[in-house]
A and B are shown apart, each in its own frame.
Chain A
Amino acid sequence: MSRDTAALVERSLQAVIGDEVVDDARRPVWDRLIEEGLAHPFQSGAEVWSDGADVVRASGSLAVTIPLADNVAASWLYAQGGRHEPVRRMGLVDPRHTAVQVRNGLAEGHLRQVPHAAVSSLLLVECPEGDGHVLWALELQGVRAEVGTNVGGEPRDELRFDAVPATRILRSQGQWGALAWLGALTRATQMAGCASRALTLCLEHVSTREQFGRPLSRFQAVQQQLAELACEVAALDSAVGVAARAADIASASTLESRAGHAIACAKLQAGRTASTTVRIAHQLHGAMGFTREHSLHGLTRKLMAYRSEHGSERDWAAWLGHRSCRAGADALWHELSRPPGD
């Protein structure tokens, strides 16, 4: 896909979502998202993650409040399980917050941090099975939710249930399963969108806001902060791009072995970029950026929310560190320099 395609995706998403905050996922917006190829941005039968990554990143830069990114990820996972039809309003549950058992097609258990539970048609959850993981689609209509909201303003509910229909989608190998990996990549990609938009807002603000008779951009102290921010934002775009390419050459069952390293790097960089972006973007915007009226908080609050979802820096650094130490010092450079998917 070309650079223009990414910009095109962002424009068409903007046109569908509009400038207003959409927080009711039952509105006809989903029909339009499917019509425009945004809810299921894949070629049926040839679902390449990178094709979806543009939409996921754009949903971050536009601070979209409906579970579009989750739905794109769910579409990809569904396709990996041989189901190629467009899906809508599907959410991903972080396996760290999943305690579910499935018997005879019925699931019982407890889910925390469930995104958009009230409006989701299906929720994807992942449970350990043998030496791997099984991805299940749960139908949770009618299950009572304990309402929660994350700092990004998105529903993150808690659900308990003892017999809801569960459909087996696929099985994957590894320490973590396909949902865990794709969830981390999805959040990191959204965060790349949030952070890049925050940088753009900063550039606009310091160019137009004047103090002491000149634009803020003329002050060296401001320039140094801008550069530091831009470097971390660029690093996240790069890390997410590399992880997406790695995911392209993996299947659901080989995500960990072929793309695990790159995805862990991307989510770790996302956390680092989030800290830098929140700190610098708000500092540069002054009091204006701290108001509800300004659009900056829509991005920074999501960064603060997403960084702990689907594995924080703490989780992925431990995974990567243990892996590097197991391989040993003699293998470290080989691991760092080998081509993705090798």
Chain B
Amino acid sequence: MLWHVARLSFDPAQLPPECEQLRTRVRQFLTEALADRPAEARALSWTAFDADFSRALGEQGWIGITYPKELGGQDGSYLERYVVFEEVLAAGAPVAAHWIGDRQSGPLLLRYGSDALQRQFVPAIARGEAHFCIGMSEPDSGSDLASVRTFATRVDGGFRVSGTKLWSTHVTRCQHMIALVRTERDPARRHDGLSQLLIDLDGPGIEVRPILDMAGHEHFGEVHFDEAFVPEERLIGRPGEGWRQVMAELAFERSGPERILSSFQLLLQLVRLAGPNPDDELARGIGDLVARLSTLRSMSLSVAARLQAGEDVALEASVVKDLGTGFEQSLPDAAHHLLGLPAMTEGGDSAMRVHGALSQLAPSFSLRGGTREILRGIIAKELLR
């Protein structure tokens, strides 16, 4: 009973017993570590930055689980990683300080980085101490990523980088950026001549500025590079291979449970407010959301299991992200339609503040990591191939 339609397949996956034991330990740790964390803070989930929490999680060995032991990892499976990811998200833990590094910078370095780069950065990521951000978008390059214009000129011993990177999450608090830059000015094909550089953000010629998001939080920002020097050894992979590497990196970004659980704190509030005996209308609204989340989780878990089996799951990961972000965005609407719950930023009660936080965060869900339109274009083209 293994079904597929038009190359899409979501075989049901089951977690091995050791994963369930791991889940119990993670849950116990989170219960204590987050005991005082209010609901509206939990609602920010993977956009909340807390270096202390990340370090504590790293001490448990729960960052970089799939990394090799000699580089600070656990030689663990993608399924163990999945369990830790979904437990911290479901609990609303502040994971932003390590999330990008754990999820994509570390795996990128392990796949393409030199031995020296790996030794220097991967163990620090796994300890929760190295905070990474992504340098892809620019003022004139959003969905059309191949149009980036930040230029890295070859100089003695490295590169001089000039240009602007935009929308980098928590850029004011991160020490490092992995930036997609142009190393060849007029290549025959626009996807050629791009490279990835690991850049320390505290050096000369680099100016970092926060941008307030619509909720008024310093959640992302911009970086200006003015002839900033980056040593040769900070080149990741091969020069001119940046596009291929970045596509692989984005695949890491699309498959995880953060694409289905971003609004989970609001679902918890709905169930809490409904109480044990809601009327049928409210029960239906909640049942519908629970079913949707349950199915999305099965799909997401199936992707993790196939990742573990070494299969190419880029298409399935895109499907989960498109469906998942749609679900996440439907929760503030559901809170409004089912309960008429006011969305507050201060005062009110904690459910109203959770609603307020997520109402303002939700529009970003189908923008970050590739817009819905780009994602659907990828899905359609893959299916038509």
Q: Is the interface of B mostly helix, strand, loop or mixed?
A: helix
Classify chain B's interface size: 35 or more
Residues of B within 8 A of A11 (CB): none
Contacts of B380 in A (CB 8 A): 217, 222-224, 226-227, 230
- Which residues on the A side are within 8 Å of B296 (C-beta)? 235
B294 near A322 with CB under 8 A, answer no
- Given A233-B5, A333-B90; A317-B283 close (CB under 8 Å): yes
Which secondary structure characterizes the binding site on chain A? helix
B153 in the interface (beta carbon within 8 A)? no
With A325-B271, A337-B297 already in contact, the answer to whether A317 and B4 are too (CB < 8 A) is no
User: What residues on B are CB-neighbors of A321 within 8 Å?
Assistant: 274, 278, 282-288, 290
CA distance A314 to B14 in the complex (A): 29
Q: Are B1 and A1 in contact (CB under 8 A)?
A: yes
Contact of B6 among A203, A262, A324 (CB under 8 A): A203
Residues of B within 8 A of A51 (CB): 1
Instruction: List CB contacts (< 8 Å) of B288-341 with chain A.
Output: 288, 290-299, 302, 316, 319, 322-323
Our count of residue pairs bridging A and B at CB distance below 8 angstroms stands at: 199
Q: Give residues 94-145 of A contacting B (CB, 8 Å).
A: none
B295, A265: Cβ atoms under 8 Å?
A: yes
B5–A320 CB distance below 8 A: no
Tell me if B379 is interfacial: C-beta within 8 Å of chain A. yes
- Mark out the residues of chain A between 19 and 41 whose CB falls within 8 Å of any chain B CB in the assembled complex: none
Q: Assess whether A325 is in contact with B277, with CB atoms less than 8 Å apart.
A: yes
| CB–CB A230/B6 < 8 A | yes
Closest to B19 in A: A339
Cα(A8)–Cα(B291), bound, Å: 31
Binary interface encoding of chain B residues 370-382 relative to chain A, with 1 for a CB under 8 A from any of its CBs, else 0: 0001011101110
Chain A hits for B319, CB < 8 A: 230-231, 234
Taking CB atoms, residues of chain B closer than 8 Å to A6 are 1-3
Determine whether B10 belongs to the interface, using a CB cutoff of 8 Å to chain A. Answer: yes
Partner of A57, one of B3, B375, B377: B3
- B contact residues around A245 at 8 Å (CB): 12, 14
The 8 A CB mask of B249-290 against A (1 = contact, 0 = none) is: 000000000000000100111011011111010111111101
Task: Tell me which of B4, B23, B283, B297 has the highest count of chain A C-beta atoms within 10 A of its own C-beta.
Answer: B283
A265 touches B291 (CB 8 A): yes
Contact A54 B277 (CB under 8 A): no
Given contacts A5-B1, A230-B379, A268-B292, 10 further A-B contacts (CB under 8 A): A224-B380, A230-B8, A235-B295, A239-B298, A318-B287, A320-B288, A321-B278, A325-B275, A325-B277, A325-B283
| Chain B residues with a Cβ under 8 A of chain A | 1-6, 8-12, 14-15, 20, 23, 86, 90, 264, 267-269, 271-272, 274-278, 280, 282-288, 290-299, 302, 316, 319, 322-323, 373, 375-377, 379-381, 383-384
Which chain A residues have a beta carbon within 8 Å of chain B's beta carbons?
Answer: 1-3, 5-6, 50-51, 53-54, 57, 192, 196, 199-200, 203, 206-207, 217, 220, 222-224, 226-228, 230-235, 237-239, 241-242, 244-245, 261-262, 264-266, 268-269, 272, 313-314, 316-326, 328-329, 332-333, 336-337, 339-340
Interface CB pairs A-B, < 8 A, 21: A1-B2, A203-B383, A217-B384, A223-B380, A228-B322, A228-B376, A233-B5, A234-B8, A241-B10, A262-B294, A268-B292, A317-B285, A318-B284, A321-B274, A321-B284, A321-B285, A321-B288, A324-B290, A325-B278, A328-B276, A329-B269
